[in-house]
Structure 1
Amino acid sequence: MTDRYAALLEQAAGHALAYLGGLAERPVKPLADDEELRGLLGGSLPQAPGDPAEALEMLVKAVERGLAPSGNGRYYGYVVGGTLPVAMAADWLTSAWDQNCIVHDGSPATAVAEEVCAAWLLDLLDLPRGASVAFTPACTHAELLCLAAARHKVLADRGWDVASQGLREAPPVRVLANADTHSAVLRCLQVLGLGGSIEYLATDDEARIRPNALQRALEAHAGVPLIVCGQVGEINTGGIDRLAELCERTHEAGGWVHLDAAIGMWAAASPRLRGGVLAGIERADSWAADAHKWLNTPYDCGVAFIADSTAHRAAVPLTADYLNTDDGRRHPAQWGLEISRRSRVFPLWAALRTLGRSGVAELVDHCCANARLFAGLLADEQDVEVVNEVSLNQVLVRFHPQVSCNTGEGAGAAADAHTAKVAALFRERGQGWASSSQWRGQTVLRLCLINWATTEHDVRRAAASLLDCHRTLVR
C-alpha cells in the first residue's frame, strides 16, 4: 500500500518545493486567464480510470498558471497571510493522518491538541481562562458560532430557549452594529434571523464607533435583549473600536459584546498594542478570529472564543444515539457547526509551538512596522495621499493627478480614475499586488501587510514600483 503513495507524494513534494523556490521572483499575478485555464483543466470527464501520476502532472501544469501567488512577500491583496513552513508541513501530515474528529474516540490526538491550543490561545491573548474555544473552517463560521451563543444567551436571560422554542413569538433581539461592520458579520446575523434587527452606529474616519452614537442607541429601548457588534481591525483602515468603553456601556445596558477580530485578535499578543489600542479587549463576551490571517497558518482555521461556555454549548446542541459525548472529554463536534471535519488544529499547534509567545508578538510588530514603512515611502511622494492612520497593518492610499483633465470632472473624480489606473498598472507589472477598494465614497488602493515572509526589501521594491506607476500615468 505504501508504494501507491510514495511516488505520488514525492512527485507532489518536488512540485511544491519548486513552486516555493521560485515564488520570490515570480511575477506577483496569475499567469493565465480563464480561457487558458479552462483549456488546461476542462474537457469531458474521462470514461475510464487514468494514470494518477499523469493526472497530477496535468493538475500542476494547469493550476500553477492560474495561482495568485499570495505566499510572495510582495502580495498585499485583501487580507491574505502566507503560511509558516512548519504549519505547511503539519498541514501535509494532517492530510496523511486523515482524521475525522467528530468525537474524542475518532481522534484522541485531535481532541487533546484542541484542548492544548485553546489554553495556549487564551493565555497568549489574555482572554478569560474559562472561555470556550472552537476551531472553525473560517472566521465567518466563528462569527456565526459567537452570534448564535449571543442570541441564545440574551434570550435565555428573558426566559426563552431559542434552541427548543425557535424564534416564533420570541422576544425581539436588538442588534447594534458598527456601521462599517464586515459583511461576514452581517451575513451571519441574517442567517440567524436577526437581519431585520440591525441598527448601525455612526463611525469616525477610522471606522470606530462614535461614543455619542453608542450612548444614544443604548439609552433608547433599554431592557430588551441586546447584542452589540464591534470590531478589532476594520478591513480597510485597520481601525479598532474603543473597546473598554464599548464593553462597559454595553454591559451596563445588559447586552452582549461581540467583536469581529478576524485581523486584529492576534495583535493582542503584542505588548505594545495590547496596552494601547487594544486595551479592554478581554472584557467582551465573544471574539471571532482567523488564524490563517496574521498567524499565518494554512487555510482553513478560524477560531471562535466565547466567554460563556454554557451559552456556547446550548446554542449548538448535538445529540445522536451513536455518539457518546457525556463522558467529560472534549468532543470537537460539540463546539462547532460541523460534524465530520479534518483536524485543522495540528498546523495551528505547530505554529504556536514554534513561534511561542514572543514569536507571535514579533510577527505582529514586524507586519505593523512594514505597514508604517510602506505608508512613509508613499507619503513622501507629491500627490500621493495615505488616507488612514496606520495603527495596525492596513494602508489605504489614494493617488492624485497633478493636472486636472479638461473633462469637466472634479478633482475627486479625477483622483478616483487615476487611483484605479495606478492600481491596475501596478498589478499588471507584477512587482506587487494589491486590491482596490472604496472608502467613504472614494476609490483607494488597499495594502495589507500580513505575511510573515515580507521583508523590508519587499516593501521598498513594491513601493518603488507603485510610485513609478503613478509617475508614468501622470506623465
Structure 2
Amino acid sequence: MTTEFDLLAYAERQAVDYVQSLEHRPVFPDEPARRALSGFDEPLPEQPQDAATILEQLSRLGGPATVASAGPNYYGFVIGSSLPVASAAERIALAWDQCASSAVNSPAADAIERTAARWLLDILDLPRNSAVGFGTSATAGALSALTTARRVLLARAGWDMDRQGLAGAPAIRVVCPENIHITVRKVLRLLGFGEDNIVNVPCDDRGRLCLDAVPALNDRTLLCLQAGEVNTGGFDPFAELLPRARKAGAWVHIDGAFGLWARASNTHAYLTEGIDLADSWTVDAHKWLNTPYDGAMVICRHADALAQAMNSDADYAQADPTAQKNLGLEFSRRARGIPIWAALKGLGRQGVAGMVERHCALAGRVAEGLSAAGYRVLNEVVLNQVLVRADTDEQTRAIVQAAQQSGQVWFGPSVWQNRPAFRISVSSWRTEERHIEALIGLLARLKHEMPS
C-alpha cells in the first residue's frame, strides 16, 4: 500500500531530478511535449484514483512540457530561479500547512514573517515603521497600496469612503508615466479610475518620466512612478520629484517589482535616490530575490492607514492590526514570507547586493557582446535589462523566433518606440558568465545567418 510518506518521497525525487536537469533540458518545450499535454484533457473521475498513478501522470506528462525558466538560460522576463534555501523552506512550510493569517492561526508563521518584514525594510532602507504585507504579486500589492492611497486622500478632503462610498466623492487625479507597467493600469481600472482621470506624462528615450512635463500636484493627486522600466530598466527622477510631491500633499506610489532591489546594491543604489520619500512601494521576491512563486510585498509608510484599509477582523477572528490578514487582500493565506525570510538569511546583506551587481554586470556583457556582433542596443544598460534590435524589423522578429526554436535559450519580443525589439533579462542566480557567452555566440551566429 502506498503511504503518505511514500508519496512525499516520490514527489521529492521527481523534484530533485527536475532541478538537476535544468542545465541541459530545452528551455522551451518542444512540440511533442506540448502535444502530450492532451493527456490531461480527460473527464472528471467518478471514483477515487490511485495517488501514485496521479503523481506519475503529473510528472510524465507535465514535466517535459514545462518552461525551464528556473534554469540558467532563460532571459524572457525578470524571473529568478528559486534559491535552494528558499525552495527548501517552501517545502517545509507546505508540510506545516499553516493558515498564516495571524498569530492565532500560526505563531510560527507570524514570528517569521515579522522578522522577514523587518529585514526587508532594513535591506531596502525604507522607513522602519512601515507596514509590510506579504502577498501574491506586485499587482496584488498595488491594489492594497492604491486602495489605501485613495482612502487617505479622500479622508484629507473630508470624505469618509467607508461610510459614504465613492458616489459623489471628490475627484482624485492620477499622474503616472505613459509607460507605467500594465499591472498598475490594471489596478487603477479595478479601482474605478477612468482614463479621463489619468494624466499620462511623456517619457524620455531611456523610459524615464520627463520631469518638466509633470503637471502641478496637490493633495488630491495619486502619483505613480516606477523603479525599473520593463524594457530599459530606467528609474524615474525620484530625488527631484518626490520632495515636490510631498510638499503638495500628493500620495506617491512606487512600482518597484524588480528595480527596487537596486536599493540593496552598493553600486546601483544611486538609481533609487529619494525613493524613501514615497508613501508606498511594491516589490517582488519571486523576481530578483529568487524565491518561489508567488511571493511579493506591499510596503506602506502609513502602517495604520494600510491596516485600516485592509482590515478583515471578524467577531470570530480578531487579530492585531499588523497581522497579515489586515495588511493584504487574503483572509486565508499561506505563509509567503517564510521562503523570503530564508532567502534573506541565506544571502545576507552582502549576498543580495552581490547577486544584483553580478546580474547587472552580466547584462552589461550582453550589451557589449551583441553590439560587437552588429546589433543595436537601444538602452543605457543601468540595470539587468538589455533592449536590442537587429538591422531590420523583419530580421529582429526572425532572430527572436529562431532563438526560441533553438531550445538553447528563451527570450521574448518587445516593442520600443513603435518598432519591434527584444529584451534580455538577467535575473537567475544560476546564470553564469559561460551562459552569457553562449547566448552572445548564438545570437551572433543567428544574425550572421539571417538576411538583412
Q: If the length of structure 2 is used for normalisation, what is the TM-score?
A: 0.97
**Deviation digits for residues 88-125 of structure 1 (CA, Å, limit 9, x no counterpart):** 11111111110012222100111111211111111111
Instruction: Name the SS of the counterpart of 1:145 in structure 2.
Output: helix
State the number of aligned residues. Answer: 451
Mapping of 1:212-361 within 5 angstroms?
A: 212-214=212-214, 217-218=215-216, 223=218, 225-274=220-269, 276-325=270-319, 328=320, 330-361=322-353
CA RMSD of aligned residues (A): 1.5
Q: Which deviates more, 250-259 or 369-378?
A: 250-259
With over 3 angstroms needed to count, the CA separation of the structure-2 counterparts of 1:84 and 1:374, relative to structure 1, is same
**Deviation digits for residues 319-339 of structure 1 (CA, Å, limit 9, x no counterpart):** 3110122xx474220111111
Name the structure 1 match of 2:389.
398
| Aligned residue type for 1:423 | V
Q: Any conservation in 2 of the 1:178–1:209 contact (CA below 8 Å)?
A: yes
Q: Any conservation in 2 of the 1:104–1:330 contact (CA below 8 Å)?
A: no
How far apart, CA to CA, are the structure 2 residues paired with 1:474 and 1:92? 49
How far apart, CA to CA, are the structure 2 residues paired with 1:329 and 1:186? 29
Name the structure 2 match of 1:145.
144
Name the structure 2 match of 1:440.
417
How far apart, CA to CA, are the structure 2 residues paired with 1:34 and 1:156? 55
Name the structure 1 match of 2:40.
41
Q: Any conservation in 2 of the 1:234–1:240 contact (CA below 8 Å)?
A: yes
Mapping of 1:102-117 within 5 angstroms?
A: 102-117=101-116
Q: Does residue 449 in structure 1 map to residue 426 in structure 2?
A: yes
With over 3 angstroms needed to count, the CA separation of the structure-2 counterparts of 1:233 and 1:178, relative to structure 1, is same
Q: Any conservation in 1 of the 2:311–2:325 contact (CA below 8 Å)?
A: no
**Deviation digits for residues 414-471 of structure 1 (CA, Å, limit 9, x no counterpart):** x111100000001101111101011110101111001111000000011111121111
Q: Any conservation in 2 of the 1:104–1:329 contact (CA below 8 Å)?
A: no
Report the alpha carbon displacement of residue 34 of structure 1 after superposing the two structures with TM: 8.1
With over 3 angstroms needed to count, the CA separation of the structure-2 counterparts of 1:181 and 1:33, relative to structure 1, is farther
| Aligned residue type for 2:379 | N
How far apart, CA to CA, are the structure 1 residues paired with 2:26 and 2:425? 18
| Aligned residue type for 2:212 | N
How far apart, CA to CA, are the structure 2 residues paired with 1:54 and 1:431? 32
Instruction: Name the SS of the counterpart of 1:110 in structure 2.
Output: helix
Instruction: Name the SS of the counterpart of 1:300 in structure 2.
Output: coil
How far apart, CA to CA, are the structure 2 residues paired with 1:201 and 1:179? 5
Instruction: Name the SS of the counterpart of 2:268 in structure 1.
Output: helix
Name the structure 2 match of 1:464.
441
Q: Which deviates more, 240-249 or 385-394?
A: 240-249
With over 3 angstroms needed to count, the CA separation of the structure-2 counterparts of 1:35 and 1:233, relative to structure 1, is closer
Q: Which deviates more, 391-400 or 95-104?
A: 95-104
Q: Does residue 368 in structure 1 map to residue 367 in structure 2?
A: no
How far apart, CA to CA, are the structure 2 residues paired with 1:10 and 1:279? 48
Mapping of 1:137-176 within 5 angstroms?
A: 137-176=136-175
How far apart, CA to CA, are the structure 2 residues paired with 1:98 and 1:361? 32
How far apart, CA to CA, are the structure 2 residues paired with 1:257 and 1:99? 34
With over 3 angstroms needed to count, the CA separation of the structure-2 counterparts of 1:134 and 1:202, relative to structure 1, is same
How far apart, CA to CA, are the structure 2 residues paired with 1:358 and 1:31? 39
Unaligned runs of 5+ in 1: 401-414
How far apart, CA to CA, are the structure 2 residues paired with 1:59 and 1:429? 26
| Aligned residue type for 2:318 | N
Q: Does residue 81 in structure 1 map to residue 73 in structure 2?
A: no
**Deviation digits for residues 394-413 of structure 1 (CA, Å, limit 9, x no counterpart):** 0011011xxxxxxxxxxxxx
With over 3 angstroms needed to count, the CA separation of the structure-2 counterparts of 1:38 and 1:24, relative to structure 1, is closer
How far apart, CA to CA, are the structure 1 residues paired with 2:32 and 2:272? 42
With over 3 angstroms needed to count, the CA separation of the structure-2 counterparts of 1:33 and 1:241, relative to structure 1, is farther
How far apart, CA to CA, are the structure 2 residues paired with 1:11 and 1:430? 28
Q: Any conservation in 2 of the 1:133–1:303 contact (CA below 8 Å)?
A: yes
How far apart, CA to CA, are the structure 1 residues paired with 2:36 and 2:139? 29
How far apart, CA to CA, are the structure 2 residues paired with 1:269 and 1:239? 17
How far apart, CA to CA, are the structure 2 residues paired with 1:158 and 1:33? 60
With over 3 angstroms needed to count, the CA separation of the structure-2 counterparts of 1:317 and 1:233, relative to structure 1, is same
Report the alpha carbon displacement of residue 40 of structure 1 after superposing the two structures with TM: 2.1
With over 3 angstroms needed to count, the CA separation of the structure-2 counterparts of 1:459 and 1:324, relative to structure 1, is same
Report the alpha carbon displacement of residue 37 of structure 1 after superposing the two structures with TM: 3.6
**Deviation digits for residues 4-59 of structure 1 (CA, Å, limit 9, x no counterpart):** 32111111111111111111011211134686144221222222112111110111
How far apart, CA to CA, are the structure 1 residues paired with 2:36 and 2:189? 35
**Deviation digits for residues 150-198 of structure 1 (CA, Å, limit 9, x no counterpart):** 1111111111122222111111001001111001001111111113321
Q: Does residue 24 in structure 1 map to residue 23 in structure 2?
A: yes
How far apart, CA to CA, are the structure 2 residues paired with 1:290 and 1:352? 13
With over 3 angstroms needed to count, the CA separation of the structure-2 counterparts of 1:315 and 1:324, relative to structure 1, is closer
Q: If the length of structure 1 is used for normalisation, what is the TM-score?
A: 0.92
Unaligned runs of 5+ in 2: none
Name the structure 2 match of 1:412.
none
Report the alpha carbon displacement of residue 318 of structure 1 after superposing the two structures with TM: 2.1
Q: Any conservation in 2 of the 1:425–1:469 contact (CA below 8 Å)?
A: yes
Name the structure 2 match of 1:124.
123
How far apart, CA to CA, are the structure 1 residues paired with 2:241 and 2:3? 57
Seq. identity, %: 38
With over 3 angstroms needed to count, the CA separation of the structure-2 counterparts of 1:248 and 1:312, relative to structure 1, is same
Name the structure 1 match of 2:403.
426
Report the alpha carbon displacement of residue 205 of structure 1 after superposing the two structures with TM: 0.9
Name the structure 1 match of 2:9.
10
